[in-house]
Structure 1
Amino acid sequence: MSRKTHVSHKDIDVEGRFATWIKMAIDLISPKDLMFVGGRGTSKTSDIIAERSMDIIYDMPGSYQVFVADTYVNALKNVVPTLLEGWERKGWREGTHYVTDARPPAHFELPYKPVQNYKHTISVFNGCFFNLVSMDQPTGSAGNSYQHIFGDEVRYTDPDKLKKLTPALRGEYTRFGHSVYYRGRTFTTDMPNVAEGDYDWILEEEKNMDREQIETALQAALVMNEIKKELYNAIKDNNRQKVQALKRNLIRWTERWVRCRRDSTFFFIVSSYVNVDVLTDGFFTDSLKALGIEEFKASILSLKAELKKGEKFYVNLQDHHFYHDGVISEYYNKFAIGEKIEESSLALRYIDHNAPLDAGMDFGNMCSMVLGQELGRDYYVFKNMYTLAPESSKELAIEFLDFFKHHKTKILNLYYDRSGNQYQKLKKDWATEIQDHIEKMNGEATGWKVNLMNRNQATIFHSEEFNYAKKLMGEYYDQIPRLKICRYQCRELKSSLELAKTKVKKNTRTGSNEILKDKSSEDLPLKKLPMFSTNFSDAFKYLMWRKKWVKITNDRKRGTMTAPSVVGD
């Protein structure tokens, strides 16, 4: 259709950019709704969302848009800074094209309606206004109205929480209804892993894609691209008559392109290999070594992973054990976008600052701490912490002291791995070490008192833990509090519990098969331990293994239940 087009990179009207083929396809199709599942390194936020958001900003000046994240902490520390980095790469500058957490300068256009609060917001030069919304408190923005919604890493986003925000996609049709993006959605994520507790609702969006419509939009865009190339050459040749004809033709095809994109959904899954030219072969080799084959398949190859229920060690662990409203989002209002965030127990909703804290600990090259309190009928596990070697108990104590520095009753009841008692006579055991660091840091008393609760603790066998956890999580007994775990502050614990598998081994003493917890995940590379090993599940075990509760579950008069018999090797 056109002759070969030569463009000089020295031309002041030319900007050279690299893009993967999927990024170019997304730009050409420009659907109303984008549902994109991509492996690590596919530049989902810094490239795809960044440029798509810029297109939407130009198409709907003055509109209200919203960016959702699972928590404010994740949004402020990770998601939004990456988005702004992408804008900077594409030529936008803070103060000139956008401002954060502040009233915009006088030369900025205003949004279509007045702004009530500039905290956790982004204002753009043409009047577009972005509000940042945390999914642990979605109702706070449900009364507002937005013209487009963005979300990154939506495998962490609860669909029920997101539904509460959906009615907010409304308003000002006469002003913005011309745009294909009006009331649209842009969601990206790695491949969800339901075995880790991820939400996989984005995969259901595939059924909303009209393949023929998407192909038509792509074909129309390719025709437009050819016309633009012809137009470039005509301008270069100073052929005014051809320039005018091509401009008219471009208008006609642009109208067709816009029409065929109305109410369109583009759903696509790609692996990290889509960006192999930038990542290089070494990235994939190193990732396989670091992640292991199962995580590599999900995070890099974008293949679905699933843990069968029969393999789960914590068979009665259900979604109702995890609560979503454990973070007081108002606490984070004092922190601006890009500012260092001071995490604190003051942001915890379910905590009694006037009561002692409980902690479960597992020691080793990864030190894991799980913290909670019994509050009425429920036991709330509201925070987990960890260190990886070479960091150890001192660094963990520092994190604990910083997070709970506003706690009023400074008493910690510590339940821990029996290995923590080793060398206790020499005062060099793990338990005494963490106790000393919490009670006295750098030679100065902190005001905390640590009670070591597991002196002379007997071994907790895997079969005992299996049966006890089954009854605890099954809520068989009214005398034992119901388990509640914070989904956001205990993400690593949640993953550890959900991924823990069983294995069967013949007991050499009795000759019968017994259920064990598969501990092979503790041999993973160090940085993978927090999310994918059983370490945190062991810290949880020590926290919840209370003599009075165990006695209740072992009382046969109460109807005790045991691990099922297992046939086979």
Structure 2
Amino acid sequence: MSAPPKHLPDRYKLDELVTSDLQIAVRLAHVGHDAHSLADDVQAVHRHFNKPQLRSMLVGANEEYAVWGRGTGKSEGLIAPRTFRNVEVMPRGHGCFVGSTYLQLLERTLPPVIKGWEQMGWVRGRDFWVRERPPKKLNVPQPIVGPITTEHCIFFRNGAVASMVSQDRPGSANGKTVHWIAGDEAKFLDKAKLDNELLLTNRGDERYFGGIPEFHSLLFCTDMPTSKAAMWILEEEKRMIAQSKELGFDRIKAILDLRTKIYALYEGLIAYPGKRASILKKIQTYQTRWDAIRSNTVYFSEASTLDNIHGFGAKNIARLREKLPPFIFETAILNRRPFLTENAFYPDLDEHHFYDEIDYGFIDSFDFDQFGKGLFEDSRKDADVDKYRPLDVALDYGAHINPLLVGQPHGRDYRVLKEMYVRHPDRVVDVARAFCRYYKHHPVKVINYFFDHTAIGTSATSATSPKDVFAEYLMSEGWTVEDRYVGHTPEPAQRYELWGRALRGGDARLFRVGFNRNNTEFVRISMQQAQIAQGSTGFRKDKKDEKNHNLDQRETTHFSDAADTLLYGAHLLHRFESDSRSFDGVFMS
């Protein structure tokens, strides 16, 4: 850490003097529109931001769309500074955080955002309050368009408020008037709902905040989308390019040039206090130009985890390169745009097959003194579970990983409710234990256990089959296990055809399939990455990655194999048990 220059007056009391333009930008990023807000006793605190985060702060566009890889600091270093500034410049304003589910906001979005706020100086219980109003003794002003209740809101010391809006709670955006919107994990948002519900609330109140560039601002960020329905966010790049073409110059470059001049002047303000008045006048001129341009600017950015290599760590990136399947590493880490493969084993699987069903009567019964992943780890949070019928269960068995899937029929639909797994050295009995723990409160302690020939074999080290190990543990915990043997693993062509018809829909003889989005992360990845390989007797599922023990086996074909058994067994039991036709006959017509 370098010491302040000797010619600086004592009143600056700088902890650290940083001479880089970009780091000065961080230090002064939240100075208000009035240049006089640079107080005489300003104290600089050093914080590290990566290049994508710095560019976002420098541009400060009214609309921002960020497609950044995992580990780039989207929540803590993008959403947090952006919403911090929104609140600061719009006292008594009303913003909102939007997510595909309320659980996402509680478990994944808010914790790092709050951490970011705290690093910028806010203190919970002093500067902001989550799901509770500030104490009356503080005389905090009321929001201009404040909420009636506090359950889904964050209140701030200057009278501002932020609502937590989720697309899985019908009507949560109705009747609101908001002044800014920030959305995390945008690839999971339903674009039609976003356009027709929430974005329509970002309106009005020009008499309070008109002219402030952050007014009616939008921020949406995500890692690289991999489904057709989520590609809308990539289209925002075209809007950014079109803006520059209309004006005849690069709008983003012009903004960055202005910021460079502003921060060069701030350096002069610190180094030459005797010229304070003239420097402040120049700063104000450039600041006004910057505000005028960015208030109508769309900014789209892409970044990979490599852009945060100092924070994430080169060793971690190298480790992920070895463990992750190539597609996941390319999209989630390197942030490269996906290509549609012609060799997918489940080519019809897309975003619309995933749904959100959370029991918020159960969620809302909790006090939220803390936030974070794993707050609700049993089936009472799952609104898609029929509590009064048995659960269907299927597993895949192996030395390195043992996945388990749970499903239930629901009318003409079949729902894949939950995935579980254990990895070496844990075994089948451990995944049985996890199942019993998660479904401890399920009233009907009965399962339909679907298994094929791979579950009934013994080995030189054990005279008990995996099927018996699993069933015996559940029975010891009070469950009734209905054995549903499906025979030998169905031929690849039959599984391919079954999934194709079930995912496309329209065949009254087959279930339409849906997946609980929040509970089936690795099922999705496994099925999306499963490929077709040509064999000597026809095509098959390519399972070569299962033999590569350097890969993360959660993302190979193990989960997809369990899904095959579950869907096949479900049709045998639920759709055809009273039908004289064989299941094979469905594919003969």
Change (3 A) 1:483 1:215: same
Structure-1 residue corresponding to 2:358 = 327
Q: Secondary structure at the match of 2:345?
A: coil
Measured in 1, the distance between the counterparts of 2:514 and 2:46 equals 53
Q: 1:231: how far off?
A: 1.9
Structure-2 residue corresponding to 1:407 = 442
Q: Secondary structure at the match of 2:65?
A: strand
Number of aligned residue pairs: 534
8 A contact 2:415–2:514 mirrored in 1: yes
Measured in 2, the distance between the counterparts of 1:496 and 1:423 equals 27
CA deviations over 1:453-495 (Å, ceiling 9, x no partner): 128x224232332233334444464233332333333232233
Structure-1 residue corresponding to 2:485 = 454
8 A contact 1:121–1:130 mirrored in 2: yes
Equivalent of 2:498, from 459, 463, 468?
468
Measured in 2, the distance between the counterparts of 1:132 and 1:552 equals 51
Measured in 1, the distance between the counterparts of 2:277 and 2:448 equals 80
8 A contact 1:413–1:451 mirrored in 2: yes
8 A contact 2:94–2:146 mirrored in 1: no
Change (3 A) 1:523 1:73: farther
Measured in 1, the distance between the counterparts of 2:415 and 2:314 equals 45
Structure-2 residue corresponding to 1:202 = 233
Amino acid at match of 2:364: N
Structure-2 residue corresponding to 1:9 = 15
Q: Secondary structure at the match of 2:340?
A: coil
Structure-1 residue corresponding to 2:557 = 534
Q: Secondary structure at the match of 1:307?
A: coil
Change (3 A) 1:5 1:386: same
Measured in 2, the distance between the counterparts of 1:439 and 1:330 equals 31
8 A contact 1:101–1:337 mirrored in 2: no
Q: What 5-or-longer segments of structure 2 have no aligned partner?
A: 9-13, 18-41, 245-249
Structure-2 residue corresponding to 1:148 = 180
Measured in 1, the distance between the counterparts of 2:66 and 2:351 equals 26
Equivalent of 2:388, from 344, 348, 354?
354
Q: 1:5: how far off?
A: 8.4
Structure-2 residue corresponding to 1:386 = 421
1:428 is aligned to 2:464 = yes
Equivalent of 1:272, from 305, 323, 337?
305
8 A contact 1:142–1:167 mirrored in 2: no
Q: 1:74: how far off?
A: 2.8
Q: Secondary structure at the match of 1:415?
A: strand
Change (3 A) 1:360 1:230: same
Q: 1:10: how far off?
A: 5.3
Q: 1:319: how far off?
A: 4.8
TM-score by length of structure 1 reads 0.86
Equivalent of 1:250, from 274, 279, 283?
283
8 A contact 1:417–1:539 mirrored in 2: no
Change (3 A) 1:560 1:46: same
More deviation, 546-555/258-267: 546-555
Q: Secondary structure at the match of 2:364?
A: helix
Structure-1 residue corresponding to 2:57 = 27
- Provide the aligned C-alpha RMSD in A: 2.8
Equivalent of 2:149, from 117, 122, 127?
117
Structure-1 residue corresponding to 2:75 = 45
Q: 1:363: how far off?
A: 1.7
Change (3 A) 1:476 1:298: closer
Measured in 1, the distance between the counterparts of 2:309 and 2:348 equals 42
Change (3 A) 1:397 1:265: same
Amino acid at match of 1:270: A
CA deviations over 1:347-389 (Å, ceiling 9, x no partner): 3333322211111211222222222222222222222222222
Measured in 2, the distance between the counterparts of 1:19 and 1:262 equals 24
Q: 1:414: how far off?
A: 0.7
Measured in 1, the distance between the counterparts of 2:212 and 2:549 equals 48
Provide the identity percentage: 24
Q: Secondary structure at the match of 2:387?
A: coil
Measured in 2, the distance between the counterparts of 1:13 and 1:497 equals 53
Change (3 A) 1:80 1:5: same
Structure-1 residue corresponding to 2:454 = 419
Change (3 A) 1:415 1:20: same
Measured in 1, the distance between the counterparts of 2:295 and 2:469 equals 64
Structure-2 residue corresponding to 1:228 = 266
Q: Secondary structure at the match of 2:329?
A: helix
Q: Secondary structure at the match of 2:519?
A: coil
Q: 1:86: how far off?
A: 1.3
Equivalent of 2:588, from 552, 555, 560?
560
Equivalence map 1:487-566=2 (5 Å): 487-507=517-537, 514-523=538-547, 528-530=552-554, 532-546=555-569, 547=572, 552=582, 554-555=584-585, 560=588
Measured in 1, the distance between the counterparts of 2:323 and 2:475 equals 37
